[in-house]
Amino acid sequence: MKRRVICIWLPHLAAERTLKNAPDRDRPLGIVSEVSGGLKLCSLNTVARKAGLTCGMALADARAILPGLATVPQDAERDGAFLRALGRWLQRFSPSVAPERMTGSDGTLLLDAGGCAHLFGGEVGMIAEIGDGLARFGLTARQGVADTRGGAWALARFGGENRIAPPGETRRVLEPLPVAALGIDAQVCADLTRIGLKSIRDMAALPRASVAKRFGVETVKRLDRALGVEADPLAPMAQATPHAVRMSLPEPVATTDAVAGALDRLLERLCARLEREGLGARRLELTVRRADGGSDSTGIGLMRPGRDAGMIARLFERGVADLDAGFGIDVIRLEATGIEPLVAAQVVSGEATRGEALDDVLSRIVNRIGFEAVIRVAPATSHIPERSWIRHSAAHSDPATGWPRPPAPRPITMLGPDPLTVEVTQTRTPPVRFVWQRHCYEVVRTFGPERITPEWWLDDPAWRTGLRDYWRIETTCARRLWVFHTPEVPPESTALSRWYIHGIFA
């Protein structure tokens, strides 16, 4: 099967992507980027171009010409994500779609049309349907069709509107085009033009060795790839098959019970598919479309991959009740936006059941207060009390095991440490009476000391007072406290306390 490549060039992608979400589409808009220490326009919408502005113009000059120009900083990451989304949309025309890396503010998509064009009435019908779809998105596109990737790229930019090179005639169609159609460096193009090589025909007539010696090997490679002398394969993006189900309702509904009933049926279909594929959902999003054209959505997350329709429906209860139904909902869509492998596991002695029940409870909690608000504690390799454990997000970690046995009991609540007010500070044994948080405590029993030295390889401001002697004390009010003494603090130092409370026992 002969290869045929369609190149789709979107010259104003950045501005037109931004314009889709702009409240005033008739206002001149420019995308600004910082080039050589100054702000310049890198993309313009149609209104700004008709006013006489051009890409590459300094922002100050553009505002002098058009004071009402609205500007937005360039967001290359979002432009790239938008280009990849267009690539997924183009997979309806061909399974081989390759979004090229964003260059400045424009984007390029390459599509292998070999064996696909006849499904759309030939190449002319195919590019016409692609152009109509992009126009509905509010995008300006120019297309080129050739036997090679470089040839299609050149025709899209320099061949006029929707140029098509007939099969086997790519070289003939490309030869009249300027050397800039090869996509080579601007300085190399200027050097080629200065010596009289203005077209691809002029450049192709020269010996390859002399061109490579003077203008670089990459220049020759670009020429050979465009003419089909050297292979230039596509690297198609992966096929994206969303795990989503959709339901169109015969009549708009506006009650929570009706939406919840439709959600139950969607969950049954989605969870059945996940089970067939050995997958589980970690994040799901429910989107409803109203009869007036608006939409609303809500989402949930799970602590572990799951496909229990009943459990997931319970997590959606709060979000479904908050959906804005407006004049009625006529379309409901459910998508698993985050999926992970989930294999069936045999339950032994009820252990898996208890773990799953805990994860279900945590899922309900995190969907109310947020995933980052629920944490797990894991052991750390440090004998310093406050550094002997670390915190992890409960949604992205497993319960910790292998906790080391401490040399002495540790409190369940860690504090400051908070200084104590004592009558005699020079003693090395716990004071008989002290004041903490405006309350006076009397000590009836003590256990210790346990000496802990600072980690000399770390400069911790809290441990600059030196080693500590820890004591467990019991007071007359039945409070069990963890206090320490800093023997290395000079006795004459009045700015620092020598007794602190560091924890409270159960």
Give residue 496's pLDDT band: very low, low, confident or very high (50, 70, 90): low
Residues 284 and 168 in one domain: no
- Can you state the percent helix, strand and coil of the chain, rounding each to 5? 35, 30, 35
Residue 121: give the domain boundaries.
1-240
Do the domain assignments include residue 374? no
Task: Report yes or no: 46 and 19 within 8 Å, Cβ to Cβ.
Answer: no
Token pair of 391, please?
Answer: 């915190």
Q: Is the dihedral of CA 193, 197, 203, 209 positive or negative?
A: negative
| pLDDT for 346 | 52
Encode 210-244: b = buried (16+ Cβ within 10 Å), e = exposed. ebeeebeeebbbbbbbbbbeeebeeebbeeeeebb
| pLDDT for 44 | 83
Q: How far apart, in whole angstroms, are the C-alpha atoms of residue 15 and residue 18?
A: 5
Residue-wise pLDDT for 134-170, tens only, equals 998 888 889 999 999 999 999 998 887 668 999 989 9
Residue-wise pLDDT for 425-482, tens only, equals 667 788 899 999 889 999 999 998 999 999 888 888 888 888 999 999 999 998 999 9
Q: Is 99 exposed, middle or buried (0-12, 13-18, 19+ CB in 10 A)?
A: buried
| pLDDT for 350 | 47
Do the domain assignments include residue 376? no
Residue-wise pLDDT for 226-274, tens only, equals 998 888 888 888 776 789 999 999 999 989 999 999 999 999 999 999 9
Residues 122 and 33 in one domain: yes
Residue 64, number of CB atoms within 10 A of its CB: 10
Which residues are 483's β-sheet partners? Answer: 471, 501
Please say if the pLDDT value at position 343 is more than 70.
no
**CATH (domain of 303):** 3.30.1490.100
| pLDDT for 22 | 56
Residues 335 and 278 in one domain: yes
Task: Report yes or no: 264 and 315 within 8 Å, Cβ to Cβ.
Answer: no
Do the domain assignments include residue 62? yes
Q: In what order do the strands lie in the sheet with 279-290?
A: 244-253, 329-341, 279-290, 295-306
Strands (E), 294-412: 295-306, 329-341, 375-379, 389-393
Do the domain assignments include residue 158? yes
Do the domain assignments include residue 390? no
Q: Flag the least confident range among 70-74, 86-90, 355-359, 493-497.
A: 493-497
| pLDDT for 246 | 93
How does the average pLDDT of the chain come out, rounded? 85
Report percent pLDDT > 70 for the chain: 91
Number of folded domains in the chain?
3
**Of 240, 268, 299, which residue sits at a domain end?**
240
Residues 251 and 270 in one domain: yes
Residues 185 and 60 in one domain: yes
Residues 210 and 133 in one domain: yes
Q: Where is pLDDT greater, at 340 or 346?
A: 340
| pLDDT for 288 | 94
Q: How far apart, in whole angstroms, are the C-alpha atoms of residue 117 and residue 144?
A: 14
Do the domain assignments include residue 272? yes
Q: Where is pLDDT greater, at 268 or 348?
A: 268
Residues 90 and 52 in one domain: yes
Residues 45 and 136 in one domain: yes
Q: How far apart, in whole angstroms, are the C-alpha atoms of residue 388 and residue 413?
A: 14
Do the domain assignments include residue 167? yes
| pLDDT for 14 | 80
| pLDDT for 23 | 53
Residues 205 and 281 in one domain: no
Token pair of 330, please?
Answer: 């006529």
Residues 230 and 252 in one domain: no
Residue-wise pLDDT for 299-319, tens only, equals 999 888 889 999 899 999 999
Name the pTM for this structure: 0.54
Residues 132 and 228 in one domain: yes
Do the domain assignments include residue 388? no
Which residues are 289's β-sheet partners? Answer: 295, 331
**Of 240, 265, 283, which residue sits at a domain end?**
240
Residues 198 and 260 in one domain: no
| pLDDT for 159 | 84
**Of 309, 341, 373, which residue sits at a domain end?**
341
**CATH (domain of 33):** 3.30.70.270
